[in-house]
Amino acid sequence: MKKLLALLLAALFVLGTASMIVLAEAPHPIERDEKNIIKMNWLDFNPEANALWAEQGADGKWSATIGYNDFSAPENEDGDIIGAYLRADYSTCATNTEWSFVDGGEVLRLQVTGDTTTPGFYFILDEYHYNIIPVGSESSDNPKAEYMKIRVKNYSTANRFTFAWTSASTNQYRFMGKTISDLKIDNNGKEYQSVSGEWQTYIVNMNTLNLNTNYEELLPTDIDGNLVSTWGGNLEAILLFPFGYDVTDGTGAYPGAMIDIDYVVLGSLDYVTNYKSDLEIKEESITKLELVSEPTKKNYYVGESLDLEGLQLKATYKDGTTEMLSTNPSYTANLEEGGTNTPVKLTFGTQSVNYNINVTGVSSIEVAEKPADTTYEVAEVADGFTADGFTFKVNYADGTSTTFPSSSVRCYSNDTLTTAGTKAMIANFYGIETNFDIDVVNVTDIEVTPNASSIRYKDTLTSDNTSVTFVYNDGTKIASGDSAIELEYTFELDTKTAGEAILKTTATNATYGINIVKETPVTIETPTGMTVSTKPLKVDGYQPGDQFDKTGLAVSLVYEDGKKIVLDESDYTVRANLTNPGSANVSIKCSIEGLEDLKLDERLTVTVEGEVEPSDNTTPANTTRPGRDNDKKDDGNGMIIVIVIVVIVVVAAAAAVVLVVLKKKKK
């Protein structure tokens, strides 16, 4: 019995330990629907969630409190991530922008305070990449979150809202340009609205939106060449660019541009369609709206934003209760043209009230300042003119004037800006226009100079080792690296023949109509000699009559500084007579036309196996003597006899010398 109990306890211990391991490695809990698709409402802003990562300073400005190296995402007591956050030093908020929470913390507001093209947010959803936020296609065998819904109040003239994201399918959670997707029309055919001043909701199919992106050249393709959406993988971050991404044509961000975001939710089509925030529900429950006091500011100039300071609204709800609203309502007001008693409509949910303002119109606009240089390369203006350095003076109907930066004025041209010439530009401020000119230049010629002091056999010229100067239609010259235009080059040059040669350079850019062929005189350096830089693999072991084997042979031209350049086999000839045994000379000569007078030749010695024959006319050693049988072959005995005789003679001579010496000593 004790053994049985011990086994049972051991089994329970193992199971308990395994359960702890599973729980420890389990992903963070997250809500899912009946299809097992995530329901992500972490970007529905509220005071409790905001406090996990943001704080308001004594000056009233907001800042994020979680830094890049903190690794302290919003978590509950169990260590589970419970919300998204904007990391302090990893946001994409550009300079000259401010973000804050308004309407009791229910709304995130972004306001542009200076010149910028891409103000936005980088919200981290899953700091540790625990794969808890799978996204993809809802209609797949394994359904995943495909839809996103936003509720925004766009006070600006910006006409698009851009999404981007990072996930496991976009280069290991790095922001990639191929994820940038612009909302202009949503999944239900609703056009994105600018200057509405009222809450608008848009439902977005992220797959479709990505395929319709303006950056589609970055998207992958399937085996049939069709574009494939990058919406997929395990989501880490959502990037929001409320005024569009990198907009330079004047339709994006500008000083004073403002937008409010109530929420961004993610999940199935059914989930996002039916989703409503607390603020949205509250607004819909209002049955009556009363204007207790109007805003203090009643007089405006065209182009100003509505100021609701001093406004007091009283709301009556379905249950009969009332309250003074602390959040700002939606509004519609025409501040783009002058008028007295211009109506302002304030809206909460389905209820609204009105009051009137006066708007002073614009009588004229003029250029106040120009940059020192108003000449632009075609590449700088082909995709739209940006009037950096210009300021404009706006004259109002009441005789007052205000100076605005170029970002507040829309500048464009009816002329084509892809060709050179003087172009008439138009500056438009809320329908009132003025004209000014700019000069557009294009590359009409190039000057080419190889960077090396000399060009030698086999040298290859490229844009990396060749200096190119652009010559424009107005005569100005700019080094290619300092120009906004990029050209594609091909270089043609025969480096074999020393002396004067012609470098032919072709420079093209189809977009800007550039096709230039330039011939430049250059000098090809003369070699001082030729050498065998590597001997062939076979220099011994040839048999009479063999052909010379060039395998491994390298022949080089030699220059004055000692540098060697290996010749191509077609640029030298090899002659070798391997008929007779012994040492054989291999003659190597340069065959490049024009170098004949240099007498560039080299010799190489190889060995042919076999017995070497005498080179004089004496009787060969194997010639038979008269009287001997010519049919008998010399068996070597004759040679032995000769050697013996020679030895005897030498010994006898030595003995005679010894005797003579002895006799002399006796005397």
Per residue in 571-594, pLDDT tens?
999 999 999 999 999 999 999 988
Amino acid identity of residue 338, one-letter, is G
**533-556 mean pLDDT:** 94
Q: State the pLDDT confidence band at 216, using cuts at 50, 70 and 90.
A: low
Of 288, 297, 289, 287, nearest to 333 by C-alpha is: 297
Pairing of β 62-64 and β 299-301: unpaired
Per residue, the 3-state secondary structure of 425-490, as one string, reads EEEEECCEEEEEEEEEECEEEEEEEECCCCECCCCCCCCCCEEEEEEECCCCEEEHHHCCCCCEEE
Q: 529-608 adopts what CATH topology? A: Immunoglobulin-like (2.60.40)
Report the C-alpha dihedral over residues 147, 150, 156, 162, rounded to 10 degrees: -30
Torsion-angle region of 582 (φ positive above 0: left; ψ -120 to 50: alpha; else: beta): left
Per-residue pLDDT, 655: 45
Kindly report the average pLDDT of the chain as a whole number.
85
pTM of the model: 0.60
Q: Is residue 369 over pLDDT 80?
A: yes
Per-residue pLDDT, 25: 38
**Contact in structure between 279 and 326 (CB atoms under 8 Å):** no
Amino acid identity of residue 124, one-letter, is I
Per-residue pLDDT, 81: 79
Per-residue pLDDT, 597: 74
**In 294-431, beta strands by DSSP E:** 299-301, 312-317, 322-324, 330-333, 339-348, 351-360, 362-369, 375-377, 391-396, 401-405, 410-413, 421-429
CA-to-CA distance for 60 and 58, rounded, in angstroms? Answer: 5
Q: Tokens in use for 518?
A: 């330039």
Q: Is 213 helix (H, G, I), strand (E, B) or coil?
A: coil
CA atoms within 13 A on the CB side of 443: 30
Q: Is residue 124 over pLDDT 80?
A: yes
Of 310, 342, 167, 343, nearest to 238 by C-alpha is: 167
**508-532 mean pLDDT:** 94
Per-residue pLDDT, 354: 95
Higher-pLDDT residue of 464, 618: 464
Q: Which residues pair with 62 in a beta bridge?
A: 56
Measure Cα distances from 264 to 41, 188, 329 in Å: 7, 17, 19
Mark 147-170 as b/e (b = at least 16 C-beta within 10 Å).
bbbbbbbbbbbbbbbbbbbbbbbb
Q: State the pLDDT confidence band at 349, using cuts at 50, 70 and 90.
A: confident
Per-residue pLDDT, 172: 64
Q: Tokens in use for 411?
A: 């500048």
Per-residue pLDDT, 171: 63
Among 82-96, 348-362, 515-529, 556-570, which stretch is predicted with the lowest mean pLDDT?
Answer: 82-96
CA-to-CA distance for 91 and 341, rounded, in angstroms? Answer: 43
Higher-pLDDT residue of 10, 347: 347
Provide the 10 A C-beta neighbour count for residue 188.
11
Please give the span between the terminal C-alpha atoms of the chain, in angstroms, as a whole number. 134
Q: State the pLDDT confidence band at 45, using cuts at 50, 70 and 90.
A: very high
Amino acid identity of residue 650, one-letter, is V
Q: Is residue 645 over pLDDT 60?
A: no
Q: Tokens in use for 637?
A: 């005995």
CA-to-CA distance for 227 and 217, rounded, in angstroms? Answer: 9
Per-residue pLDDT, 630: 45
CB within 8 Å of 427: residues ≥ 6 apart: 365, 367, 387, 390, 392, 409, 410, 411, 433, 434, 435, 436
Percent of the chain with pLDDT over 90: 59
Q: State the pLDDT confidence band at 613, using cuts at 50, 70 and 90.
A: low
Q: Is residue 559 over pLDDT 50?
A: yes
Per-residue pLDDT, 308: 92
Per-residue pLDDT, 607: 94
Q: State the pLDDT confidence band at 632, using cuts at 50, 70 and 90.
A: very low
**54-74 mean pLDDT:** 83
Residue 235, Cβ density class (10 Å: 0-12 exposed, 13-18 middle, ≥19 buried)? buried
Q: Is residue 21 over pLDDT 80?
A: no
What's the full length of the chain, in residues? 667
**164-174 mean pLDDT:** 79
State pLDDT tens for residues 236-266: 899 999 999 988 877 888 888 999 999 999 9
Provide the 10 A C-beta neighbour count for residue 264.
25
CATH no. of 443-524: 2.60.40
Q: State the pLDDT confidence band at 92, using cuts at 50, 70 and 90.
A: low
Per-residue pLDDT, 71: 63
Q: Tokens in use for 302?
A: 């065209």
Per-residue pLDDT, 516: 97
Query: Could you say which architecture CATH assigns to the domain 364-438?
Result: Sandwich (2.60)
**40-63 mean pLDDT:** 91
State pLDDT tens for residues 469-513: 999 999 999 999 999 999 999 999 999 989 999 999 999 999 999
CA atoms within 13 A on the CB side of 90: 19
Q: Which residue has the tokens 């170029």?
A: 406
CA-to-CA distance for 83 and 74, rounded, in angstroms? Answer: 6
CB within 8 Å of 313: residues ≥ 6 apart: 289, 290, 291, 292, 324, 325, 329, 346, 348, 353
Among 76-80, 274-278, 299-303, 349-353, which stretch is predicted with the lowest mean pLDDT?
Answer: 76-80
**60-85 mean pLDDT:** 79
**Contact in structure between 609 and 545 (CB atoms under 8 Å):** no
Q: Is residue 659 over pLDDT 50?
A: no
Q: Is residue 117 over pLDDT 50?
A: yes
The CATH number corresponding to 285-360 among 1.10.1370.40, 2.60.40.3630, 3.40.50.300, 1.20.1530.20 equals 2.60.40.3630
Per-residue pLDDT, 147: 97
How many Å is the Cα radius of gyration of the chain?
A: 45
Domain boundaries, the chain: 38-248+266-280, 285-360, 364-438, 443-524, 529-608
For the sheet with 339-348, list strands across it.
299-301, 351-360, 339-348, 330-333
Residue 595, Cβ density class (10 Å: 0-12 exposed, 13-18 middle, ≥19 buried)? buried
**213-235 mean pLDDT:** 83
